[in-house]
Amino acid sequence: MPSRSELAARRQDALSDEPAASGPAVRETPNPTRRELANAIRALSMDAVQRAESGHPGAPLGMADFGAVLWNDFLRHNPANPKWFNRDRMILSNGHGSMLQYSLLHLSGYDLTIEDLRNFRQLGSRTPGHPEYGRTAGVETTTGPLGQGLANGVGMALAERALATRFNRPGFPIVDHYTYVILGDGCLMEGVSSEVSSLAGAWGLGKLICLYDDNGISIDGPVRGWFGDDVPKRFEALGWHVVPNVDGHDAEAVHEALVQARANSKQPTLICCKTTIAWGSPNKGGSEKSHGAPLGAAEVAATREAIGWRHEPFVIPPEIYAAFNARPKGAVWENEWNELFARYRTKYPEVAAEFEQRLACGFPEDWENLAWNFIQASQERHEDLATRVGSQRALQAYGPHFPSLVGGSADLMESTGIPWSGCRPVDFEHPDGNLIYYGAREFAMYAIMNGLALHGGYIPFGGTFLMFADYGRSAIRMSSLMKLRCVFVLTHDSIGVGGDGPTHQPVEHVAGLRIIPDLSVWRTCDTTETAVAWKAALERVHGPTALIFTRQKLPHQDRTPEQVQAIARGGYVLLDCGDDPEVIVIATGSEVQLAIDAARQLNGQGRRIRVVSMPSVDVFETQDAAYRESVLPAAVTRRVVVEAGVTAPWYKYAGPRGVVIGIDRFGESGSPEAIFQYFGFTTERVVAAVTDLFQPGADF
């Protein structure tokens, strides 16, 4: 087999054999060739990157041929309605090649103008440097962190197969679409690609088709020194159908490979497209110099000449537009599906109604009463339980009323309290279940959850130990960036993990999650707060939620009905001393009881101590100023915060003269009781901290 460098040389030689410097311009005919269609993508891509003076031209130029084949010959979509349910999904996992996607969206008729392309990478444009879900019509997911687009695609393909299994009927394939993923060497180097590909093979996702841009180049140069995988054998071992050694610049070869892929309904397919990065660029083709920087004005001109493109920047001939335009056939496809679904609704009215409810991911009838009745019952039971157990009880109460809810765990199913009665596991034979065994793959779990949410029809949640949130943090961040309706269940909080030791004791993780924009974080102190937190998570339609729960048992807190209602505001007065507190003690989770015990002791001595439980800082901060002032009066500057985690974020609430009792080092191995004592999480320490605020010299 020739080496990558030999293949690249051959392709460049082949290119030079085509009309180049004296070659023809795009023919003024109604039937452009496949190469001319691909060259339109090349021209738009290099022009946009050059105008921006920033970007990645090499990938779009190299992927243009197979990108044009996919979009013109196979992709079923409707540019006039990018959210049509039964469209094929196309993901550009190597998101730095965004101009490939933007060019295709523009040319095929989406609401993306030539001016948008001219504004590539500019502030406020609809063509940001990497594709962003919600910003650009037709972009199915935000990509950029390599490998995650593939992971999202696995989630989308799983959603398609599961919904098809549940709702399709003979003669009525109402769920019938493919997920196509374009990816590169960098995506396959990232560990998440192995995690999700293993699962895709195990699940037999036959409608997942990936086109691998095998150009042998990354930003640092030829990858042979650090990526020597036999990729076809690797994916065959993972249970995939592989089409190897496809010339990615031969449109007919790519077409045939896609036909082969679509013929295999039992396995996901990887099509290995051998390409040259920046194909057509006489001096930078096949080189990392084209990866992450504009070609330069002279090289753009030379590339135009080499590929026979005789048009000014951002000028596309009408025959090219006509050949790419997917609006007419997109309208036909959507109308055909609408007619199919109308017949389906007539023949299967109950199932059709269920299908529409699934896609809406809505709420059960009388949801408010259902939820608050359970919350009140939780309060009235007065049970001392680990909050992970409280979480499972909330799932048991809420889950059966949400058909779209699908849960899973990274090999910690029972430990994290994910299953509830009536759950059905997802596997090769039963993809329509609602309980996913991800194995020890936290990153894959979270990224697949994002894909499930993006596809529609699912509200995904996934459980692991809080410590291991780090493995999937990038996917949590992407969920927040896209404002997806995902719930991250994170148990075994803080040093309460005990004998598992510092490797399993997450002291910095809650703070780290709280600083992620648009992620709502709850750390609850008992089953009642846990029930409220789950209600809030399910109701948060435009953003993800992280729920932090304990391994160890926590005491139930007494509350009035008004206090129970106030939990939903993120922070509330749990124990008061009248209208004029001298000190406010703020606590969360397992440390709330310490604050309560200390306050009762001090109040018994004549002090006036208020205890505020703050299960969700971000929710509390969205409350109106009057409410926040009623809970934390600005005039009360004597404050103590207690949380078994890093201290720095809490000085915002403690103030410059307040005290934060936390832990700014790694934990120890031992019983939870001994560890809490060792690190000073005791009633005595809280009492002492409050008492010190009244010592002579304390400036209040």
Catalytic positions, written as ranges:
442
Q: Virtual CA dihedral for 377, 378, 382, 388, nearest 10 degrees?
A: 160
Neighbours of 541 (CB within 10 A): 12
Which of 385, 618, 389 shows the shortest CA–CA distance to 515? 618
Q: How many CA atoms lie within 13 A of 438 on its CB side?
A: 32
Do the beta carbons of residue 562 and residue 539 sit within 8 Å?
no
Which of 610, 611, 602, 613 shows the shortest CA–CA distance to 579? 610
Do the beta carbons of residue 148 and residue 196 sit within 8 Å?
no
- Paired tokens of 660: 């934060």
Question: In angstroms, what CA-CA distances link 114 with 48, 106, 126, 138?
Answer: 10, 7, 11, 16
What is the gyration radius of the CA atoms in the chain, in angstroms? Answer: 29
Pairing of strands 269-274, 487-491: unpaired
DSSP string, 98-126: HHHHHHHHHHHT-S--HHHHHTTT-TT-S
Do the beta carbons of residue 340 and residue 172 sit within 8 Å?
yes
Q: How many CA atoms lie within 13 A of 292 on its CB side?
A: 7
Q: Which DSSP symbol is given to 133? A: T
Give the span between the Cα atoms of 611 and 599, in whole angstroms. 7
Give the span between the Cα atoms of 564 and 672, in whole angstroms. 29
Give the span between the Cα atoms of 616 and 350, in whole angstroms. 40
Specify burial of residue 14 (Cβ count, 10 A radius: 0-12, 13-18, 19+): middle
As a three-state string, the secondary structure of 530-579 is HHHHHHHHHHCCCCCEEEECCCCEECCCCCCHHHHHHHHHCCEEEECCCC
Do the beta carbons of residue 643 and residue 605 sit within 8 Å?
no
Give the span between the Cα atoms of 543 and 162, in whole angstroms. 24
Question: In angstroms, what CA-CA distances link 247 with 68, 256, 375, 667?
Answer: 14, 11, 61, 55
Which of 371, 435, 426 shows the shortest CA–CA distance to 405? 435
Give the span between the Cα atoms of 88 and 307, in whole angstroms. 31
Do the beta carbons of residue 93 and residue 182 sit within 8 Å?
yes
Helix axes 34-52, 58-69, angle to 10 degrees: 150
Rounded to 5°, the CA angle 583-584-587 comes to 145
Do the beta carbons of residue 179 and residue 207 sit within 8 Å?
yes
DSSP string, 311-328: S-TT---HHHHHHH--HH
